[in-house]
Chains A and B, each alone.
Chain A
Amino acid sequence: MPEAHAFAPAGLEALFAAPALATLPRVLGFMDRDPGSPTFGCCDRAYWHYRLTDLPNSRAQEAGLLLALAWAYPGPKSGEDNLFYGQDALPQWVRGVWSHWLASRNADGSTREIYPFERSFCATSFSSAAFVECARLLGADGFERELRQAESTFLWLGSNANPDVANQMAASLHALHGYAALTGDGRIRRLARERGEALRRLTDASGTFVEYGGLDVGYQTITLSSLTSVMALTADEAWLPEAVAKGLAAVEPRIGELGHVDWRGNSRRTQYVYPRALAAHQSPALARLADGLRARTLPTPCWLDDRYTTAFAVDYLLAATELRPCS
């Protein structure tokens, strides 16, 4: 029945919010929430609690964005069904998350994911993008000191790149434009424009944002989610609306019944789909993801391991926010 697949935000918001909000207590368990602890704000439980690793994964700090989104998001029933909405404890924890992130960076501002002295473009891009989004959500005035401290990270991000993978380039673009919008820093804005040009070169005529030489539906939806954030931040990237539309058109036919994707056809074998860009741009494929959620057969944030669940939950909550009738 085509009518059932028409874009109908009313019931969809709750459908996408539920897995994200259900993941929140798990993600809070990843975090050291004791303000007296030397690792207060660290969200890598394997490091601060189990002591199994010799350094924390900076991508775990993206939990700060999930907490900030949950704090700001009233829920489908306007505050009744999101127990975390407006709770005072959350902004304090978010500040702790970013204090730890700032303190655990390399001297040049880059961050680490796995090994000592790693300068991870991926982790620096995504954690920086989450940092600027948090500052936007909680108010840049309260983040002035942290934004000043973080400057070296954004300068590093603008001077380093990984052109093999478009999703990391898109996240760095999001971070750079976010920082420039919050601080008005002209150097970072110039670096952001250069990054935009570099990312543009990673698209092809079919709408693919290249991931190690080919299309990967999962990573393409991550790229499109970051680019949706960039479009909300700046009008500088005039090429984006058309590229995002083509990018969506490239993945929509690959998202089948119940939202499933044949991972064998993906350049990076990704099993899941990030829903936010599909929600923001009213893609017909969103209804197929919703069918999968109703049938409880679609991989959701709860299905993923500790390493991937947080970023996926962030995207589900962003999708729910996009689907709010007033948004």
Chain B
Amino acid sequence: MLMSTPKLVALRLYNITLGRFEVCTRLLRKALVWRYVKNMEPGARYSPTSKFFDMSELGAGWRARAARPGNTGESR
């Protein structure tokens, strides 16, 4: 679920009012972990360290090109 302006405003209002109290901050954290980490399909599991570029996304052609001497640090 993407961030929207109303959600962002609501979150910030919570942060600067109830969020001043530690128990409310802890509750918010628990709710966010439940909603965005634990309660997700395994295939869609949120991870900030995912979805970076992978060379395999270019298909097969890049391997041959990458293996050429000038591109592997070997002497030519």
B75 within 8 A of A: no
Give the chain A neighbours of B4 by CB distance below 8 A.
54
Give the chain B neighbours of A38 by CB distance below 8 A.
2
Find the B residue at minimum CB distance from A24: B53
Whether B58 and A81, one on each chain, are in contact in the complex, defined by CB atoms closer than 8 angstroms, is: no
Whether B51 and A88, one on each chain, are in contact in the complex, defined by CB atoms closer than 8 angstroms, is: no
Would you give the shortest CB distance from A72 to chain B, in whole angstroms?
Answer: 15
**Cα of A116 to Cα of B4 in the assembled complex, Å:** 10
B66 within 8 A of A: yes
Partner of B62, one of A28, A33, A39, A83: A83
Whether A81 and B48, one on each chain, are in contact in the complex, defined by CB atoms closer than 8 angstroms, is: no
Partner of B1, one of A25, A33, A50, A51: A51
Whether A87 and B3, one on each chain, are in contact in the complex, defined by CB atoms closer than 8 angstroms, is: no
Find the A residue at minimum CB distance from B66: A83
A184 within 8 A of B: no
Whether A52 and B51, one on each chain, are in contact in the complex, defined by CB atoms closer than 8 angstroms, is: no
Most chain A beta carbons < 10 A, residue from B53, B59, B66, B68 = B53
Q: Say yes or no: A29-B53 contact (C-beta < 8 A), given A51-B3, A84-B58.
A: yes
Whether A80 and B57, one on each chain, are in contact in the complex, defined by CB atoms closer than 8 angstroms, is: no
Find the B residue at minimum CB distance from A48: B2
Whether A33 and B7, one on each chain, are in contact in the complex, defined by CB atoms closer than 8 angstroms, is: no
A89 within 8 A of B: yes
B21 within 8 A of A: no
Whether A54 and B3, one on each chain, are in contact in the complex, defined by CB atoms closer than 8 angstroms, is: yes
Residues B1-36 near A (CB distance < 8 A): 1-5, 7-8
Residues A26-50 near B (CB distance < 8 A): 26, 28-29, 32-34, 38-39, 47-50
Q: Say yes or no: A54-B65 contact (C-beta < 8 A), given A28-B53, A81-B70, A81-B71.
A: no
Whether A83 and B55, one on each chain, are in contact in the complex, defined by CB atoms closer than 8 angstroms, is: yes
**Cα of A89 to Cα of B55 in the assembled complex, Å:** 11
Give the chain A neighbours of B65 by CB distance below 8 A.
79-80, 83
Residues 1-34 of A, flagged 1 when their CB comes within 8 A of B and 0 if not, give 0000000000000000000000001101100111
Residues A60-95 near B (CB distance < 8 A): 77, 79-81, 83-84, 87-89
**Cα of A52 to Cα of B55 in the assembled complex, Å:** 27
Q: Say yes or no: A55-B71 contact (C-beta < 8 A), given A50-B48, A87-B62, A89-B57.
A: no
Partner of B3, one of A25, A32, A53, A83: A53
Q: Say yes or no: A80-B3 contact (C-beta < 8 A), given A49-B48, A54-B8.
A: no
Whether B58 and A83, one on each chain, are in contact in the complex, defined by CB atoms closer than 8 angstroms, is: yes
Whether B5 and A54, one on each chain, are in contact in the complex, defined by CB atoms closer than 8 angstroms, is: yes
Give the chain A neighbours of B7 by CB distance below 8 A.
54
Whether B53 and A89, one on each chain, are in contact in the complex, defined by CB atoms closer than 8 angstroms, is: no
Whether B70 and A25, one on each chain, are in contact in the complex, defined by CB atoms closer than 8 angstroms, is: no
B42 within 8 A of A: no
Whether A25 and B53, one on each chain, are in contact in the complex, defined by CB atoms closer than 8 angstroms, is: yes
* A-B contacts, 16 listed (Cβ < 8 Å): A28-B52, A28-B53, A33-B51, A38-B2, A49-B51, A51-B2, A54-B5, A54-B7, A54-B8, A55-B5, A77-B70, A81-B70, A83-B71, A87-B59, A87-B62, A116-B5
Which B residues are closer than 8 A to A by beta carbons? 1-5, 7-8, 48, 51-53, 55, 57-59, 61-62, 65-66, 68, 70-71
Known: A51-B2, A53-B3, A80-B71. 17 other contacts (CB 8 A): A25-B53, A25-B55, A28-B53, A29-B53, A47-B2, A49-B48, A49-B51, A51-B3, A54-B3, A80-B65, A80-B68, A80-B70, A83-B58, A83-B66, A84-B58, A87-B59, A87-B61
